[in-house]
Structure 1
Amino acid sequence: MFAELKRMNARQVALQVLNIMTILTSALMIWKALALALNNESPIVVVLSGSMEPAFHRGDLLVLSLPKNDPIEVNDICVFKLPERPVPIVHRVIKLHDDAETGKQYLLTKGDNNPGDDRSLYDYRQMWIHQEHIVGKVRGFVPYVGMVTIMMNDYPILKYVLLGVLGLFALVQRE
């Protein structure tokens, strides 16, 4: 690879760098366009566990939206993030509670494949989650596409293998 770089003149190297930057910028623009269109900072998430089977399986890619005028209802599948947990959770809303004093909406969730509700997942002595914990409502999914992400997290060596294969592919394409 370095021998190939040495053979290239400055203009060819600059063109390769610009091509890579164009690809990265395009991916970022697509992500931001999705975020704006779906009113969500994280418009796409990957299901990491089997707690929502048979609705969603591990590795499914979920598309989320957070519409302002569309309230959360019972049976909506939502992604929520709790302050003490680093990973968002995908579960179904099974009960709602509206507090008349504060005007806040409280939710109780449950994974379809779990025997009980999620109170054991919430913070200590927390019985409901709040509307502000919701990352988004599931609007659609693509089956098993997220398995690549799961595999790269479970087996970090795959990241380097994938980068190597992409690098070889780029060199072969150039010739």
Structure 2
Amino acid sequence: MLDVFRGTSFRHVASQGISLGLIITSALIIWKALMCFTGSESPVVVVLSGSMEPGFKRGDILFLKMGDSPISTGEIVVFHVDGRDIPIVHRVIKVHHRQESNDVDILTKGDNNWGDDRALYATGQLWLHQHHIMGRAVGYLPYLGMVTIVMTSYPYIKFLLIGVLALLVITAKD
């Protein structure tokens, strides 16, 4: 195995490293372009729980977009809660327009959940506000996000995959 590494030239390894860097840079540019196009800080999310079944299942990938129109009852939104890192995908069940401040209060619920999401919100918070909303679901791909869930649940698989890919890159012959 060591003979494989000794036999590779520096130029070949550098070329492979630059190619890998270009792939990573391209992915970041595409992500930033999607952010600009959709107006969402996270244009793609993975459904992590079964709270939206049967509509969306665990592992589905959702595509998000922020719109200029006001959020309405029945829309599926992705929101973040103060103090939590992981966004939540749920349906808007109530919208309350406050006349005095021109703000909107939003209440959500998972389709597969018994009650509304007030128990998920930050302590003392009864409504979501516009700044909590990351985007509106505009499309999805079923089950493709399971790769992300597996790699998050079992980190050694991620490192094993990175090691195999690195080995393939180093040992690849032109």
TM-score between the two structures when normalised by the length of structure 2: 0.93
In structure 1, distance between residues paired with 2:169 and 2:91: 43
Question: CA 1:23/1:2 → structure 2, altered by over 3 Å: closer, same or farther?
Answer: farther
Residue 30 of structure 2 is aligned to residue 30 of structure 1: yes
2:135 is equivalent to residue 101 of structure 1: no
Aligned 8 A contact 1:61 1:142 in 2: yes
- TM-superposed deviation, 1:57: 0.5
What SS class does the counterpart of residue 103 from structure 1 fall into? coil
Distance 2:168 2:10 in 1: 21
- Aligned residue for 2:83, secondary structure, equals coil
- Aligned residue in 2 for 1:149: 148
How far apart are residue 97 of structure 1 and its match? Answer: 0.3
Provide the aligned C-alpha RMSD in A: 1.6
- Offset, 1:126: 1.8
Task: Summarize deviations over 1:92-128 as a string: whole Å, max 9, x none.
Answer: 0000001111111110000000011111111223221
| CA–CA distance in structure 1, aligned partners of residues 31 and 173 of structure 2 | 28
Q: Which amino acid aligns with 1:33?
A: A
Q: 1:2 to 1:73 in 2, by over 3 A?
A: farther
Which residue of structure 1 lines up, in the alignment, with residue 47 of structure 2? 47
Question: Equivalent residue for 2:6?
Answer: 6
Aligned residue type for 2:155 = P
Aligned-pair identity (%): 50
| 3-state DSSP of counterpart to 1:75 | coil
CA drift at 1:152: 0.8
Give the count of matched residue pairs: 174
How far apart, in 2, do the equivalents of 1:71 and 1:82 lie? Answer: 20
